[in-house]
Amino acid sequence: MKIAHSIPANKTEKLVDLAIELQEFVDQAAADGESLYETEKGILAKVLKMGHLAINRLLQRQGDGDLGPTVQTADGVELQRSESPVERPLRTVFGEHTFDAYVYAPGPKQKIALRPIDARLNLPAGKYSYLLEEFTQYFCVEQAFGQAADAFQTVLGQKLSVDTLERTNQRVGEQARDYLDALPTPPVKEEGEVLVATADGKGVPLIRDNAQAPPVHGPKPSRPGNRRMATLACVYSVDAYVRSAEDVVAALFRDERERDATARPQPCHKRMTACFPTLEDAGSEDELLIRGDIQAWSWAAEQIDQRRADGQVLVR
């Protein structure tokens, strides 16, 4: 495979120069009596800059993706190489990058079927790296998308639009059910003494039109607001935690006599799902409302059937 870009010798030196610059920055901060807060911010900025350069170098070392004028897929389809390398944008946790590489399609002006460099690096179909998408979701799951975008920019110095975060969340969320269904049944020897099943309702802020239909139970409320109720179900096992009456009282009032928290048994193989009420086709142009709590508890019942051992105590 050909090398798409010549790699100047100073590329490695430049990355090393940034490391030396970081070391000099820390030494100078110590000599000037700089606060930890300002020094830590400066270190993070320089580390992100080093990461950006390192990713650029990684991409430059991939070559140009030229596999010859044509390639044949496993299905016997012949793909033709593009006339020239195609620019590929990419965004990682370190910033924006681009690289040029040949791509392959069934014919001119047809949809690209193979990107050799993408395949080698396991790049996503879109612009954003998997790690970047993963990081964005850490911010999105606990706060509104606008607040998440602000927090992401504060930490990593990159501005992402609310639309980008919403689309990423929707696409990643579509994989959750398949992932949950594909999880193997936990080995019996790894389960705790007690199997626990629990559920609760959670109001989820939504666009007003989506919040109003379908209802959770019965007719729509007169003032629906912008929330829909989801039912969260959880199944896990845990060893018994024997406590005296005094221990329970101490825990309730956060008394200092409470036993060391590390001694408390930890949940094993904790699995959760969340279900909105859904409308399903019932035939003859009718729709059937399936409540979220019924879906959640049906899932929990399946988990119990799969995981409960003979004689195991069930708490729900």
Residue 162 structure tokens: 């609310």
Non-local (6+) Cβ contacts of 250 within 8 A are 256, 257, 258, 259
Q: Are residues 163 and 56 in the same domain?
A: no
Residue 179 lies in a domain: no
Q: Is 128 helix (H, G, I), strand (E, B) or coil?
A: strand
Q: What are phi and psi of 187, to 5 degrees?
A: -60, 140
Residue 132 structure tokens: 């970047």
CB 201 within 8 Å of CB 229: yes
Residue 4 lies in a domain: no
* CA 213 – CA 266 distance, rounded (Å): 39
Q: Are residues 110 and 137 in the same domain?
A: no
Number of H helices, E strands in the chain: 10, 11
Q: Are residues 210 and 242 in the same domain?
A: yes
Q: Are residues 154 and 201 in the same domain?
A: no
| Beta-strand runs (E) in the chain | 70-72, 78-81, 86-92, 95-101, 104-105, 194-205, 227-238, 268-275, 278-283, 286-290, 313-315
Residue 292 lies in a domain: yes
Going 107 to 110 to 113 to 119, the CA torsion angle's sign is positive
CB 226 within 8 Å of CB 211: yes
- Pick the last residue of a domain from 95, 121, 147: 121
Q: Are residues 89 and 206 in the same domain?
A: no
Q: Are residues 299 and 202 in the same domain?
A: yes
Q: Which residues pair with 201 in a beta bridge?
A: 231
Q: Are residues 158 and 188 in the same domain?
A: no
> Which domain range does residue 154 map to?
130-174
- Tokens 């992932």 map to which residue? 179
Residue 92 lies in a domain: yes
CB 126 within 8 Å of CB 89: no
189 DSSP 8-state letter: G
Q: Are residues 190 and 293 in the same domain?
A: yes
Q: Tell how far CA 282 is from the center of its chain.
A: 35
Q: Which residues of the chain have pLDDT under 70?
A: 1-13, 206-226, 255-262, 282-285
How many structural domains comprise the chain? Answer: 3
* CA 294 – CA 303 distance, rounded (Å): 14
Q: Which residues pair with 313 in a beta bridge?
A: 194
Q: Tell how far CA 294 is from the center of its chain.
A: 27
Going 227 to 233 to 238 to 240, the CA torsion angle's sign is positive
Residue 221 lies in a domain: yes
Residue 316 structure tokens: 């729900």
Q: Which residues pair with 271 in a beta bridge?
A: 235
Strands 194-205 and 313-315, how do they pair? parallel
Q: What is the pTM of this model?
A: 0.72
* CA 256 – CA 220 distance, rounded (Å): 48
Q: Are residues 211 and 234 in the same domain?
A: yes
Q: What are phi and psi of 310, to 5 degrees?
A: -60, 125
Q: Are residues 192 and 288 in the same domain?
A: yes
The pLDDT assigned to 4 comes to 41
Residue 307 lies in a domain: yes
Residue 34 lies in a domain: yes
The pLDDT assigned to 247 comes to 80
